[in-house]
Amino acid sequence: MKIGISQIVYYEFDSHPLSVGDVRRLWELLAILKRSAKAYVYQTTEEPSAGIELRCGDVEAYNRLFYDSSGSFWGGFDCLKSSSSSNGLVDAEFGFGCKQSSRWKGVDTLPDSSLYFSESLLNEVGWRDIASVFKNHFELADSANALSGFIDVGSADHLFSGMVFESIVLPKMPLYRWVEQARWVTTGKHKFNRLRGLYWGNYFSSKTIAALDTVCNGDFLNSYKSQARYADGESNGIIWELRNGIFVSISLSPLDCEPGKPIDLSTQNNLVWLVEKLLLADLM
């Protein structure tokens, strides 16, 4: 079974979350991948570039793609092993994208930015370096007033390089993904008051944290720090405190929760604790 790790962040309707300069910072970090990607990028309503190939992390090549270094970034990059669209999404090694507000089944969807890595690429590069890329993406998103975000791990044919979380209709999505997407999209334009779900890793905005504080004796952050610990006091989850929000995970690596792998007791406890708090705060 092919496994993938997908990160996605949602933003306010009609926002322009990431600039060319923001993504340049992220692009530079991707030199760790030691491979080339194809660029499909644009700054206005024009058609995206037609699959220009460039080495990951090559800043000079990146700069040549844009006429306005301070303008908005739209489109993205990918490393696909297959030319077939459906197989390519399943076989993708890496992908990054930033998309505008769109429509799903006739309903408005939020702008988003996303990252995807295959398990084989994660094993090749190492979780520590991949985690630093994910963290940088969350830092950029947090500065752009992101509404929510997460990191999910799953079989590649249940993630389609992360597109199951976006405004693209994919008939091959498994049933539970259809249900998840329909519930999320059809809650209306105030959907950001609730979260799409709970995943291995979760970014909570300041607004979400304020709601969680009300069910955690006024302090969600320290409550979760106390929860996500082994008996010896060592942390068993990741916590990134950002300028406006917080990222928390239910274990130390997404591969702890890959399909077919038993979920250990500490991860179970962290997951259930978070679900209970999110439900109490009316966030799910």
* pLDDT tens profile 22-66: 999 999 999 999 999 999 998 875 666 778 899 999 999 999 988
The overall average pLDDT reported for the chain is 90
Q: What is the pLDDT of residues 164-203, one digit of tens each?
A: 999 888 888 899 999 999 888 877 555 557 899 999 999 9
Residue 83 has pLDDT above 90, yes or no: no
Counting DSSP H helices and E strands in the chain, the numbers are: 10, 12
Phi, psi angle pair for 216, to nearest 5°: -130, 40
Structure tokens at 118: 């295959």
**Is 70 exceeded by the pLDDT of residue 272?**
yes
| pLDDT number for residue 138 | 98
Whole-model pTM: value is: 0.94
CB 93 within 8 A of CB 79: yes
96-122 pLDDT, tens digit each: 999 988 888 888 889 999 999 999 999
Q: How confident is the model at residue 84 (pLDDT cuts 50, 70, 90)?
A: very low
- Per-domain residue ranges for the chain? 3-193, 205-280
